[in-house]
Amino acid sequence: MPKREAGARRPLPQAKEPMGPDALRDVRIVDLSWIVAGPTCTRVLADFGAQVIKVEYEGAPDYIRGSPPFVEDQPGVNRSGFFNNLNRNKLGITLNVRHPRGMELLRELIAISDVVVENFSSRVMEERWGLGYEEQRKLRPDIIYCALSGFGHSGRHRDYTTWGPTAQAHSGVTFMSGLPDHEPAGWGFSYMDHTAGYQAAIAILMALHHRQRTGQGQWIDLSQVEGGVAITGTAILDYAVNGRPYRRVGDRADHPQVAPHNAYRCLGQVIVGEGQHDGRWCVIACFNEEQWCALCRVIGEPHLATDPRFATNADRLRHQDELDVLIEGWTRTLPPREVMERCQQAGVPSGMVQNARDKVGDDPQLRARGFFPEVDHPEIGRFKYEGVPAKLSVTPGKVLRSSPVLGQHNEYIYREVLGFGAEELEQMMVEGVI
C-alpha cells in the first residue's frame, strides 16, 4: 500500500508554445507513427497540450493523406478530411530518414524529447534505422519509447503485420460481432486502431507518472492483437474456467442475460452511401422488473406485465421471439428518437441507432456539450472536428489547430527548437534532407 512521500520532482519546464493551461504542455513527442493507430494515440496526447512533432517526408507522407473523404472530392496531400480529423493539434515537419543527415536530425529531435511513438512493423526501428530502445537511451536517458505493432516485438510472428481489421479478426473481436446463424458481421471500421491508440496513450501516461517520480524512462512494447484480446470481456475466462467457447448472440443480451434486449425497427428511412436506403432502428433493454413494467406502459400494453409468458426474466428469455414482435409492433409506428425519448422518460434504457448525420445534426446532447468544435485549416478552410470525450475542469482538452499541411512547422521546429540558421535550413531543403 502506498505511503505519502515526496518523490523526486522534475523541474517544471516552460511551456513550449503559448497555449494556455494545458496539462501536457511539458511533454514533447516525436511522432513517427502513421495511418490510424499511432496517430490516434498522439492525437489524444496533443488534444491535452503535448507538443507532438509529426515526422513525414514528401516522398513518404502519411498514407491517410491519400485516403478519402477529400474536400470537394478532390484528392490532395493536404485535402483529406480523414487525415485532418486525426492529426489536428499536431506540428508537422518533413525529414528524410534515408538521408544520413536526416537520420542525424531525427536523433537530435529524440535527444530533446520525452516520448517517441511509432507503429512500424517490428524490425524497422531497431534493425533498419538503428534506433532501438538502447540506442534511444543513449540520446535521451529517460526517453519513453512506445512501439505499437501488430504482434509485438517478440514471439515467432513478430514480423507479421496488421491493420485494424487483421487485429480484430485475429483477436476474436470480429468473431464476437454478428447474428448467431450467419458469418460474423465484424466491425465496419478499424476499431482496433482506435483502441490500440487509446491503450498506447494510457501506457505512455502511466510511464510519464513513473518518470516524474523516479526519473526513469522505459520501453513500451504494445501489440494490437493483444489489445483486442484484452477487451473480449469475459470470453477468455469463460473458456479458461468453464471450457465454454464463445457464441454470437446478435443484439440480444449476452451477460447479464435479460429480455427484452434488442434492436427494433422504427418508422422512417435514411439515405446512406450514394443513394442506398437504410432503415431506422432503436435499441431497448430492460435489466430489471421495474424497467420491464415501465416499458409495458410506454408501449401501451400494460397487461403484458402480468402475462404469464413474460412474468419473470426467465419467462421473457424463453419467449423472446414473441416479445420482440410485440415491441417492434410499437416501435415501427414511431421515429427512432421518439421511441428512445419515450422509453428514457419512463426509465427504460434505450438508444437510437445514430449515424454521423444524426450525431451532428440532431443529437441535442452532443450539441449541448459542444462536441463538434470548428477550426480553420490553412488550405481547405473551416471544418468540424470530433471533440474530446473527457472534460477536465482545470485543463480541458482542446481542438486549437487543424492538422499540419506537409512540412508546415519546419521553420518553427528546425529554427526555433533545434536552433538552425536560415541558411542551414535552406541547404537541408536543397539537399533533400528535409
Partner 1 sequence: MSALEDLAVLDLTDEKGQLMGKLLADMGAYVVKVEPPGGDPARRTGPFAGDGEGRERSLYWWQFNTSKRSVTLDITRQEGQKLLQRLANRADILLESFQPGYLDSLGLGYEALSALNPRLVYTSLTGFGQTGPYRDFLTSDVVALAMGGTMASCGYDDVTDAPPIAPRGYHGYSIGCHWGLIGTLVALHHRDQTGRGQRVDASVHEAVSCTTEAAMPWYFYQRKVPMRQTGRHHAVRPTPKNQLPAADGKFIMAWAVPRTPRHWESLIGWLAQHGEERELVENPHIREVFLSAERGAPEEVHRVWAAIARMIAKLPSDEVFHEAQKRGYPWGIVRPPEEVLADPHFQERGFFVPVEHPEDGRAYLYPRAPYVFSQTPWRIRRRAPHVGEDNREVYIEWLGLAPEELEALRSQGVV
Q: Which of residues 381-410 bind partner 1 (CB under 8 A)?
A: 383-387, 389-395, 397
Q: Are 361 and 305 in contact (CB under 8 A)?
A: no
- The backbone region for 72, taken as left when phi is positive above 0, alpha when psi lies in -120 to 50, beta otherwise, is left
Q: Measuring CA to CA, which residue among 402, 338, 395, 382 is closest to residue 86? A: 402
Q: Residue 322: CA atoms inside 13 Å, Cβ hemisphere, count?
A: 10
**Contact between 190 and partner 1 (CB under 8 A)?**
yes
The region of 265-273, 299-307, 398-406, 408-416 touching partner 1 under the rule CB under 8 A is 265-273
β-partners of residue 283 are 263, 351
Of the residues 62, 193, 251, 376, only one is catalytic, namely 193
Instruction: Give the shortest CB-423-to-partner 1 separation in angstroms.
Output: 38
**Contact between 200 and partner 1 (CB under 8 A)?**
yes
Identify residues 71-100 at the interface with partner 1 (CB under 8 A).
71, 73, 75, 81-82, 84-85
**Contact between 2 and partner 1 (CB under 8 A)?**
yes
**Contact between 342 and partner 1 (CB under 8 A)?**
no
**In the numeric block, which cell numbers belong to residue 83?**
487525415
Query: Using CA atoms, how far apart are residues 431 and 434, in angstroms rounded to an integer?
Result: 8
Name the phi and psi angles at 157, rounded to 5. -105, 25
**Contact between 196 and partner 1 (CB under 8 A)?**
yes
Instruction: Give the shortest CB-306-to-partner 1 separation in angstroms.
Output: 24
**Contact between 241 and partner 1 (CB under 8 A)?**
yes
Q: Which residues contact 416 (CB under 8 A, 6 or more apart)?
A: none
Q: Which is nearer to partner 1, 83 or 420 (CB)?
A: 83
Residue 22 annotated in active site? no
Name the phi and psi angles at 382, rounded to 5. -95, 130
Identify residues 6-35 at the interface with partner 1 (CB under 8 A).
7, 9, 12, 23-24, 26-27
Identify residues 110-169 at the interface with partner 1 (CB under 8 A).
133, 150-152, 154-157, 159-169
Q: Please, where are the H alpha helices in 87-214?
A: 100-111, 133-139, 164-171, 191-214
Q: Which is nearer to partner 1, 365 or 419 (CB)?
A: 365
> Pick from 55, 348, 413, 428: which binds partner 1 (CB under 8 A)?
348
Active site residues: 193
